């Protein structure tokens, strides 16, 4: 992407984030009246393209908020990483169920991810309301904004649902003075799938170009036709979470799936050192002390020799130990604090394809897909039994190594009722199934 586009994007982040700051989580409402700054009310009537574009950029920027905590939550509980902190022992106590510790419904690892995602949801709702109440953009342009807003809204709701699981989430938060109920997991997944389908319809009617800019994380997906492929990729992820495997295959047909080793193609969160922007919160320098993320020792111990995915961790100069936990390996997915973080990429789509083929009885297709993953990472083709049970084992193993520290292991093992197979590193530790609904939501 051209440099001047990037400069424009980061300038718009500053404007867009002003709108994000007034897009508060479900139960936090402030009255903001400042004629020098934009407010929600100022864009809800006859918004211009610039108004709407600031909302788009602010929405995308806000998607990155509290990502570090979200990934720590799912990856520590999923026994992919240890998160050692000199300032907060709860990463090794609460998240791992050490002793009598349980997950707290009123602390940062629960409340901050929840609030951050709902801030973005609020921004998408504001964008939808503004689009539906302006005569200053064309109908075709409106369809593009709505397709973007509903796709991102679905993604953000899904992230909160992956934490809360059976405890459910709120879907209807459009009216902050009259919030909808917390709905159960099945109803939430159905609503998220419906949002993605609604967005698909909008995107199919949004012409050949969006009226708004997207960041470099959407290179190759910044037009309606290709953004729709991103939408369908997310729909495939949701379909396997619902065990709707034929629906997953249908969504994949319209996604950016490529059955080859172009594993990294996809949509990403991006970061920079530009003023007002954010750095990659998942990056820690290797051999750091104090604040570190370490690979769970099982990731290396269980790997097949020759698997190049072991490069996702790096041997430390000296082991790190905290609270009876020790690892010799740093998490090493990122080389710098501006490296992009995947939202969804082709390697995951290949594995979704393999899973859906297994579950629909098309076992040889599944083997072929799994072999793309295996040989693409320096392994020999699969030689085990071609049965559904054996291929599920193989698929979960490949997901473990291909999608390491991308937010999937805990969810995958939970989907297949295998949480009891995750390692317990200290006597009495627990593997949690759900996060609790935040305390602030219980009185609403």
* 296-321 per-position pLDDT tens digit: 999 999 999 999 999 999 999 999 99
Q: What's the rounded mean pLDDT across residues 160-167?
A: 98
- Is the pLDDT assigned to residue 121 strictly greater than 90? yes
Are both 160 and 296 inside the same structural domain? no
pLDDT tens per residue, range 226-252: 999 999 999 999 999 999 999 999 999
Tell me, yes or no, whether 10 lies in a domain: yes
Tell me, yes or no, whether 382 lies in a domain: yes
Tell me, yes or no, whether 338 lies in a domain: no
Are both 323 and 220 inside the same structural domain? no
Cβ atoms of 151 and 231 closer than 8 Å: yes
- Is the pLDDT assigned to residue 20 strictly greater than 50? no
What Cα–Cα distance (Å) separates residue 117 from each residue in 31, 60, 120, 143, 373? 21, 11, 5, 23, 32
Banded model confidence at residue 43, pLDDT cuts 50, 70, 90: confident
Residue span of the structural domain in which 241 resides = 3-80+95-277+343-422+431-442
The CA-to-CA distance between both ends of the chain, in Å, stands at 45
Tell me, yes or no, whether 244 lies in a domain: yes
Q: Is the pTM of this model over 0.85?
A: yes
Banded model confidence at residue 382, pLDDT cuts 50, 70, 90: very high
Q: What's the rounded mean pLDDT across residues 389-418?
A: 98
Are both 143 and 43 inside the same structural domain? yes
Q: What SS3 state is found at 268?
A: strand
Tell me, yes or no, whether 87 lies in a domain: no
Q: What's the confidence (pLDDT) of residue 39?
A: 62
Are both 135 and 103 inside the same structural domain? yes
Tell me, what DSSP letter sits at residue 181?
Answer: P
What Cα–Cα distance (Å) separates residue 235 from each residue in 19, 252, 253, 254, 389? 28, 8, 11, 10, 25
Q: Tally DSSP H helices, then E strands, for the chain.
A: 15, 8
Are both 164 and 200 inside the same structural domain? yes
- Is the pLDDT assigned to residue 14 strictly greater than 60? no
Are both 317 and 348 inside the same structural domain? no
CATH of the domain at 25: 1.25.40.390
Q: What's the rounded mean pLDDT across residues 326-353?
A: 98
At CA 295, angle to CA 291 and CA 299, rounded to 5? 170
Are both 411 and 313 inside the same structural domain? no
Number of domains in the chain: 2
Q: What's the rounded mean pLDDT across residues 328-350?
A: 98
Are both 264 and 315 inside the same structural domain? no
Q: Are strands 266-269 and 182-183 parallel, antiparallel or unpaired?
A: unpaired
Cβ atoms of 162 and 182 closer than 8 Å: no
Are both 323 and 403 inside the same structural domain? no
Are both 262 and 347 inside the same structural domain? yes
Q: What's the rounded mean pLDDT across residues 117-132?
A: 98
- Is the pLDDT assigned to residue 34 strictly greater than 80? no
Task: List, in sequence order, every residue forming a beta bridge with 267; answer none if it has no partner.
Answer: 344
Tell me, yes or no, whether 282 lies in a domain: no
Query: What is the DSSP track for 220-244?
Result: T--SHHHHHHHHHHHHHHHHHHTT-
Q: What's the rounded mean pLDDT across residues 129-152?
A: 98
- Is the pLDDT assigned to residue 11 strictly greater than 70? no
Q: What SS3 state is found at 309?
A: helix
- Is the pLDDT assigned to residue 422 strictly greater than 80? yes
Tell me, yes or no, whether 99 lies in a domain: yes
Helix locations, 242-296, DSSP H: 245-253
Q: What's the confidence (pLDDT) of residue 406?
A: 98
Are both 137 and 166 inside the same structural domain? yes
- Is the pLDDT assigned to residue 2 strictly greater than 50? no
Q: What SS3 state is found at 330?
A: strand
Are both 138 and 55 inside the same structural domain? yes
The Cα 342–Cα 63 span in angstroms is 12
Tell me, yes or no, whether 410 lies in a domain: yes
């Amino acid at each position: 992407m051209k440099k001047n586009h990037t400069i424009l994007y980061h300038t718009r982040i500053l404007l867009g984030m002003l709108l994000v700051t007034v897009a508060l989580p479900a139960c936090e409402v402030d009255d903001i009246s400042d004629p020098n700054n934009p407010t929600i009310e100022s864009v809800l009537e006859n918004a211009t393209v610039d108004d709407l574009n600031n909302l788009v950029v602010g929405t995308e920027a806000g998607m990155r908020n509290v990502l570090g905590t979200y990934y720590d939550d799912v990856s520590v509980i999923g026994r992919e990483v240890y998160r050692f902190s000199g300032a907060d022992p709860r990463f090794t106590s609460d998240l791992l169920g050490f002793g009598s510790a349980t997950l707290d419904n009123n602390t940062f690892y629960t409340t901050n991810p929840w609030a951050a995602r709902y801030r973005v949801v609020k921004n998408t709702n504001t964008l939808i309301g503004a689009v539906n109440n302006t005569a200053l953009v064309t109908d075709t342009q409106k369809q593009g904004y709505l397709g973007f807003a509903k796709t991102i809204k679905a993604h953000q709701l899904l992230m909160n649902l992956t934490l809360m699981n059976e405890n459910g989430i709120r879907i209807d938060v459009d009216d902050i003075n009259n919030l909808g109920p917390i709905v159960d997991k099945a109803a939430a997944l159905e609503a998220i799938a419906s949002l993605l389908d609604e967005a698909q319809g909008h995107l199919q009617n949004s012409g050949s170009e969006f009226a708004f800019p997207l960041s470099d994380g959407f290179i190759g997906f910044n037009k309606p036709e290709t953004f729709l492929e991103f939408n369908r990729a997310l729909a495939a992820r949701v379909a396997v979470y619902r065990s709707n495997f034929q629906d997953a295959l249908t969504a994949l047909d319209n996604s950016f799936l490529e059955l080859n080793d172009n594993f990294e193609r996809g949509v990403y969160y991006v970061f920079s050192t530009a003023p007002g922007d954010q750095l990659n919160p998942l990056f820690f320098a290797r051999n750091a002390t104090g604040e570190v993320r370490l690979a769970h020792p099982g990731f290396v111990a269980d790997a097949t020799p020759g698997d190049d995915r072991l490069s996702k961790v790096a041997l430390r100069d000296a082991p790190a130990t905290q609270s009876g936990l020790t690892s010799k390996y740093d998490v090493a997915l990122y080389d710098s604090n501006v490296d992009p973080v995947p939202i969804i990429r082709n390697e995951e789509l290949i594995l979704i394809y393999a899973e859906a083929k297994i579950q629909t009885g098309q076992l040889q297709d599944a083997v072929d897909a799994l072999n793309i993953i295996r040989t693409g990472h320096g392994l020999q083709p699969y030689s085990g039994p071609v049965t559904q049970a054996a291929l599920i084992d193989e698929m979960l193993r490949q997901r473990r190594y291909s999608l390491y520290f991308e937010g999937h292991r805990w969810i995958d093992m939970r989907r297949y009722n295998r949480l009891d197979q995750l390692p317990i590193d200290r006597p009495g530790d627990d593997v949690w199934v759900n996060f609790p609904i935040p305390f602030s939501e219980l009185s609403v």
